[in-house]
Amino acid sequence: MSQSGQSSESVIEIRNLGKVYRDFWGRPKVKAVNALSLDVRKGEVFGLLGPNGSGKTTTLKLLLGLLFPSEGEIKILGKSAADVAKNERIGYLPEESYLYRFLNAYETLDFYGRLFDMPASVRKERSEKLLDQVKLAPQARHRQLKEYSKGMTRRIGVAQALINDPDLVMLDEPTSGLDPLGNRDMKDLILDLKKQGKTVLMCSHLLADVQDVCDRIAILYGGELKVMGRVDELLKAQDETQILSSKLTPEAIKEVEAVLKKHGANVLKVDQPTANLEDLFLKTVQESRDRPGHRTVKEGAKS
């Protein structure tokens, strides 16, 4: 077992994967993925990053069997990507929650539960549990999906991805289109899945979200793997040191700078740390819920 309790056993093994899109006559048009090799280990949250058109969604679809590789090999849970049996243990949240708009939430989960040959009682129990877990409002559960907002659709999309309690969950842009609250809930869910020992593979181009939840990441560009490794190791600035202390007086700051200069270090920045915008937003929303009507605008604040 490696750090963070993750196993070294690979759940996904990709070797020399390539995908070339061809035109009607079979001529190559675009090489979307080129010689990609990586492993996703059991129990980790793995982020596949890259700008638009980098091949991350194509890679995900190759893993799911929605596209066929032009070259290379894929093994998921020890089985080929083309093997339908592997789907018993995986869950997939598509980019846009492509669900059947004429079904309501219960019918949707019932339908997907049947695809796993689940008995009726199990389907019913899991549906209720999942709808509570994804925090879908009870009054919305009997409405057809075509009436749902983006956030609600995303929630039911997550629920269907988890209906079979999968060992491997693949999420394509999971926080796309969500408000900060929904974003937070999604990240909490991913961390919760990790705690349960599940493996999560997520594709995203929203870096802050990936940084908060992923153990390891791979960055793709132009269909090629550019960087792969643990988040904390990759983001660590190797040639700098950060010290966080309680508030210092200007005199104390001068003394600290003098000590650092004495040891040959350059002082790069002295500042008060700032919270991130997401935390401020969440804090404000929570306070508004707890104290309705209360305003926290500072006196004399200029716009």
Partner 1 sequence: MSFDAQPIVFSEALIAWLVTAGGLLLLILGVSFLSALSQGNSGLKMFSSEAGGVLSDLISLSPRRIWALSKLTFIEAYRRKALAVFVVFALLFMFAGWFMGGGDGDITNDQVKVYVSFVLRAISWLTLPMALVLSSFGIPEDIRVRSLHTVVTKPARRLEIVIGRVLGFALIGTLVLSVMSVVGWIWIVREIPAKAQEMLVCRVPVKGDLTFIDRNGVPAEKGINTGDIVDFRSYIEGATKARAIWTFSGVGENSLDAEGNLNLENQFFAFRSYKGDMNHQLLYDFQFRNPEKKISFTTNPMEMGEFRGVRNKVPRKLERPGDDKTYDLIKDFVTSKGTLTVEVSCIDREQYLGMARPDLFIRLPDRSFAAGYFKAVLGIELMMILVILISVCSSTFLKGPIAALLTFVLLILGGEDSHKFMDQLVTGRSKENTEVLDQQVKQLEAAYVEAMKMPEGNEKDTAVQAARKQLEVKRNKLQTIKDGFKGGGFFESIYRIYTHMNDTTELPEGNPAMTIMVKVDDRLTGFLWLCKQIIPRLATFNNMSEYVANGFDVPWDSALLPCVLITLGYLLPCILLGYFALRVRELESK
Footprint of partner 1 (CB under 8 A) = 21, 61, 64-68, 80, 82-85, 87-88, 90, 92, 94, 96, 98-100, 102-103, 107, 111-112, 114-117, 144, 160, 164
Cα angle 256, 261, 266 (rounded to 5 degrees) comes to 100
The least CB distance from residue 74 to partner 1, in Å, is 13
The least CB distance from residue 116 to partner 1, in Å, is 7
Six-digit token pair at 193?
């899945």
Task: Give the HSE-up count for residue 140: Cα atoms under 13 Å, Cβ half-sphere.
Answer: 16
Query: Cα–Cα distance between 223 and 67 in angstroms, integer?
Result: 15
Closer Cβ to partner 1, 23 or 239, answer by number: 23
Closer Cβ to partner 1, 114 or 291, answer by number: 114
Instruction: Output DSSP code: residue 183.
Output: H
Query: Cα–Cα distance between 41 and 50 in angstroms, integer?
Result: 20
Closer Cβ to partner 1, 103 or 282, answer by number: 103
With the CA atoms of 150, 152, 154 and 157 taken in that order, what torsion angle do they form, in degrees rounded to the nearest 10? -130
The least CB distance from residue 122 to partner 1, in Å, is 12
Six-digit token pair at 233?
């190791």
Six-digit token pair at 223?
């269909």
Closer Cβ to partner 1, 172 or 212, answer by number: 172
Closer Cβ to partner 1, 78 or 100, answer by number: 100
Three-class secondary structure of residue 230 per DSSP: strand
Six-digit token pair at 73?
């090999």
Look-up: residue for tokens 């560009």?
A: 221
The least CB distance from residue 271 to partner 1, in Å, is 47
Look-up: residue for tokens 């995203």?
A: 204
Closer Cβ to partner 1, 120 or 248, answer by number: 120
The least CB distance from residue 226 to partner 1, in Å, is 24
The least CB distance from residue 111 to partner 1, in Å, is 6
Closer Cβ to partner 1, 91 or 216, answer by number: 91
Query: Cα–Cα distance between 191 and 44 in angstroms, integer?
Result: 10
10 Å CB burial of residue 52 (0-12, 13-18, 19+) is exposed
φ, ψ at 168 (rounded to 5°) = -125, 125
The least CB distance from residue 301 to partner 1, in Å, is 47
